Amino acid sequence: MEDVVVRVLEKVELKDPVLIVGLPGLGNVAKLAADYLKEAIGATKFVTIYSKYFPPQVYVNESGMIRMVSNDLYYYKAKTPEERNLLILVGDYQGISPEGQYELTDKVLSLVSGMGVRQVFTLAGFAQGHMVENPRVIGAATSNSLIEKMKKLGVVFARNEPGSGLIGASGLFLGLGELYKMESICLMGETSGYFVDPRSAEAVLRILLKTFNMDVDLSDLEAKAKEIDRIASRLRETEAKLVTDTPSTGGPSQPKEDLGYIG
């Protein structure tokens, strides 16, 4: 079989579309944001991608129907002159080997390059190792003009963040995108790294919406974020109680606001 199987469900032509990539990863920030966006704006699936670089797995829904793990491309036609035509890549997995990561990213880039994509926005989480009340969105990009533009929309391009680089699809789309002459940026929502983080996803999404002059109701995402806040808050209380009740071991107690030890 082909290493990456591309099934085109509908032939789509769009003027100057932008690719948005939101695959599973840290805090599930990217997947939460992209899945929410495609639902909220009513984007249409037009490509399904299967690959031997994904796990050999199918999902089963409540009525017993199966679906093979995949990545999927959705399109959205701009409804106002201020909006942009969008392609949104979402999926169940990133490639499970380094080679698979390269092959899958390259295949998608090759496909969307043929559709006229010249700009890519990838989404990601940025692990801080501690709880983040008001997550910033940190950027990394391939051009200074894009950096300057996104700074104005609130994206932070900070020294030594992220120091060690980006690992996985969100970075690779930027790097390989350059070989396709695409300009691209990764938008990383700060997150603890311990929880699924809808608040971080919301922060990322707000930047995206501003960038593309779109208006989307984010209340469902906010509700999810508050639910996670409640869980985290209860965990903090339990911890505080444990710290109080536990005989001191002589060492400094763990700072209460740091949930870093929660697997």
Residues lying near a second copy in the complex (CB under 8 A) are found at 1, 5, 7, 50-60, 62-69, 95-96, 98-99, 101-103, 105-107, 139-144, 147, 157-169, 171-172, 174-176, 178-179, 186
Q: Which is nearer to a second copy, 46 or 157 (CB)?
A: 157
Shortest distance (Å) from residue 115 CB to a second copy: 18
Q: Which is nearer to a second copy, 165 or 263 (CB)?
A: 165
Contact indicator for 188, 174 with CB cutoff of 8 Å: no
Shortest distance (Å) from residue 179 CB to a second copy: 7
Q: Which is nearer to a second copy, 20 or 166 (CB)?
A: 166
Q: Going by DSSP bridges, is the β-strand pair 86-91/71-76 parallel, antiparallel, or unpaired?
A: antiparallel
- Token pair in block for residue 134: 């008001």
Shortest distance (Å) from residue 142 CB to a second copy: 6
Shortest distance (Å) from residue 262 CB to a second copy: 22
Q: Which is nearer to a second copy, 107 or 199 (CB)?
A: 107
DSSP 15: S
Shortest distance (Å) from residue 74 CB to a second copy: 20
Give the C-alpha separation, 22 to 59, whole Å: 20
Give the C-alpha separation, 58 to 39, whole Å: 22
Q: Which residues of 215-242 are buried (b: 16+ CB within 10 A; e: fewer)?
A: ebebeebeebbeeeeeebeeebeebeee
Give the C-alpha separation, 196 to 7, whole Å: 30
Q: Which is nearer to a second copy, 46 or 50 (CB)?
A: 50
